[in-house]
Structure 1
């Protein structure tokens, strides 16, 4: 297994070489100094299926709504354990060693709603920011899938995992491991499908992450700059 957080791995430029616990400490320190208090309102409501979504994402919205049900959505609206919890405004890469193999946009006549990060089977990947896991399980074309609600209508999506390391309802921080890369669902080779949704609609994730100090193409994170 390719451990993305192994110590002693050096980075050039703005990258860093430090152990996983040092990385976590840096995240917490930055959160205390610079973070605002964000009340994360969680809503699991997802849009109706779109015919122009890629085969990779097909069936995902139906599957979530059927398995989650109105009860789960209702509970999140009426009783949110994170509503009074301060969350650090820290964003990081989902993993360190990967190859960007596919971009957001049209693919085979349909929308590919995220980016694909190729990595060996079983490579750990992490939450890119603090939030609440609103889905952790099998999800149609996404295979083993994790979704994290970060508040303000922002949800990150992680698809095709070989193994899930979190559970629905769990509160996670930036850098917490949530799953291992795999080839489940509508996938061709081991990779992480990563996407960002704003108010239930997929948006271009590279630009969004750059606004939050993370450059997926350059493998850099502003917090460690």
Structure 2
């Protein structure tokens, strides 16, 4: 292999070589590219509609839509309030109906001493519940007082007539706390136990008349969910007591 002499002409000298640009020139080129892109972006943005230049019709349409939405929401809320109010009214009506239809025990504590039936050759048309003199007794059912005063063998007595015509008589009272014409609620105190009239010992004599005929109060009250002998009241006893006390 022949060694090239320094005196030989260089075969590459006839070619023009492009010098490598310095790094600083690369920075200038890249920066220019970004600047150009920014100008293009600004130009494009200048073609977008300005918020201030939105059509008044569009703004008015948006306002109308918002007002309609608010009106619908307000109407829905009004409907919910009305529904809740109706529910409360319906519950109150149900409670009132329940209070008017319940039966309760006439005394908190007593001793059952005499049943319904023939006694001494005569019909004992009610039952006797012994309790201390002056013990308050309550209406067993809602109704209207048709009689209140001294009534022969019944002594001081009260007759309460219910809406269906059934009558309950409370006899031998020491004191009466209602008068004829009064409306009473179940559980309302209406008199005090006594020993007036044809009575042997202090007690409350209780009678029930259905369509003008006396019936056995034990059986009648059992049909209404109240057991006189076992001293079991209606499931609504607490509600009725609170209503009577109000």
C-alpha distance in structure 1 between counterparts of 2:213 and 2:161, whole Å: 13
Aligned match for 2:186, one of 165, 174, 177: 174
Aligned to 1:48: none
Alignment check: 8 A CA contact 1:137 1:146 kept: yes
Aligned to 1:108: 120
Aligned to 2:13: none
C-alpha distance in structure 1 between counterparts of 2:178 and 2:200, whole Å: 24
RMSD of aligned alpha carbons: 1.9
Aligned to 1:117: 129
1:144 aligns with 2:156: yes
1:34 CA displacement: 8.0
C-alpha distance in structure 1 between counterparts of 2:92 and 2:184, whole Å: 16
C-alpha distance in structure 2 between counterparts of 1:93 and 1:222, whole Å: 8
Higher strand proportion: 1
Aligned to 2:227: 215
Aligned to 1:97: 109
C-alpha distance in structure 1 between counterparts of 2:169 and 2:186, whole Å: 14
Per-residue displacement from partner, 1:184-219 (whole Å, max 9, x unpaired)? 000011000001001111101101001111100000
Gaps spanning 5+ residues in structure 2: where? 1-90, 238-246
The structure with higher relative contact order (CA 8 Å, sep 6+) is: 1
SS of residue matched to 1:221: coil
TM-score after normalising by structure 2: 0.57
Alignment check: 8 A CA contact 1:30 1:90 kept: no
1:158 CA displacement: 0.3
1:33 CA displacement: 3.8
Alignment check: 8 A CA contact 1:133 1:148 kept: yes
Higher helix proportion: 2
Aligned to 1:26: none
Equivalences, count: 147
TM-score after normalising by structure 1: 0.62
Aligned match for 2:138, one of 120, 123, 126: 126
